[in-house]
Amino acid sequence: MKVAIYARYSSDNQRDASIEDQIRLCRLHAEKQGWHVVEEYTDHAISGASLLRPGIQALISDAARGRFDLILSEAMDRLSRDQEDIAGIFKRMSYEYVKIVTLSEGEVTHLHVGLKGTMNALFLKALADNTRRGQHRLEPPALHQGPGYRQASGAPEPGRRLGDPGGPGTAHP
pTM of this prediction exceeds 0.85: no
120 within a domain of the structure (yes/no): yes
What angle do the packed helices 54-64 and 83-95 form, to 10 degrees?
A: 20
In a domain, 65, yes or no: yes
In this prediction, residue 170 carries a pLDDT of: 46
**CB–CB of 92/100 below 8 Å?**
no
- pLDDT at position 68: 98
Please give the Cα distance from 98 to 118 (Å, whole number). 22
CA distance 134 to 163: 23
Which tens digits make up the pLDDT trace of 118-150? 665 665 556 555 655 555 565 555 454 555 555
pLDDT at 129: 59
The number of distinct structural domains making up the chain is: 1
Q: Any idea what the CATH number is for the domain that residue 52 is in?
A: 3.40.50.1390
- Asked whether residue 135 is domain-assigned, the answer is no
**Percent of the chain surpassing pLDDT 90:** 50
Question: How many residues are recorded in the chain?
Answer: 173
d(CA 3, CA 70) in angstroms, rounded, equals 5
pLDDT above 70 for 86: yes
| 8 located within any domain | yes
Model confidence over 19-64: pLDDT tens digits?
999 999 999 999 999 999 999 999 998 888 889 999 999 999 999 9
Structural domain harbouring 64: 2-127
Residue 41 lies in a domain: yes
- For the chain, how far is it from start to end, CA to CA, in angstroms? 58
Residues 5, 39 contacting (CB under 8 angstroms): yes
Asked if residue 141 is part of any domain, the answer here is: no
**In the prediction, which pLDDT does 172 show?**
43
| Cβ pair 89, 99 in contact under 8 A | no
Q: Is residue 139 part of a domain?
A: no
**Is 140 contained in some domain?**
no
- Positive or negative: CA dihedral 103, 117, 43, 131: negative
DSSP letters along 54-104, please?
A: HHHHHHHHHHHTT--SEEEES-HHHH-S-HHHHHHHHHHHHHTT-EEEETT
Q: 7 pLDDT exceeds 90?
A: yes
Q: Exposed (0-12), middle (13-18) or buried (19+): which is 56, by Cβ within 10 Å? A: buried
**For 3, how many CA atoms within 13 A lie in the half-sphere containing its CB?**
21
Query: Is it the case that residue 116 has pLDDT exceeding 90?
Result: no
Contact indicator for 93, 42 with CB cutoff of 8 Å: no
Average pLDDT over residues 68-88: 92
